Amino acid sequence: MKQLVLASHNPGKVREIQALLAPLAIEVLPQADLGIAETAEPHHTFLENALAKARHASAASGLPALADDSGLCIDALGGEPGVHSAYYAGREGNREARDARNNAKLLAELAPHADRSGHYACVIVMLRRAGDPEPVVAQGRWHGRIALAPRGANGFGYDPLFLLPERGLTAAELSVEEKNRISHRGQALARLLAALT
Q: State whether residue 115 is helix, strand or coil.
A: coil
Cβ neighbours of residue 9 closer than 8 Å, sequence gap 6 or more: 30, 31, 32, 38
Report the run of H or E that residue 127 belongs to, with start and end. strand 117-127
The residues that are catalytic are 69
* 8-state DSSP, 130: T
| Cβ pair 140, 122 in contact under 8 A | yes
What is the pairing mode between strands 3-6 and 65-74?
Answer: parallel
Contact 164, 181 (CB under 8 A): no
Residues ≥6 apart with Cβ < 8 Å to 134: none
Q: Based on DSSP, count helices (H) and strands (E) in the chain, helices before strands.
A: 5, 7
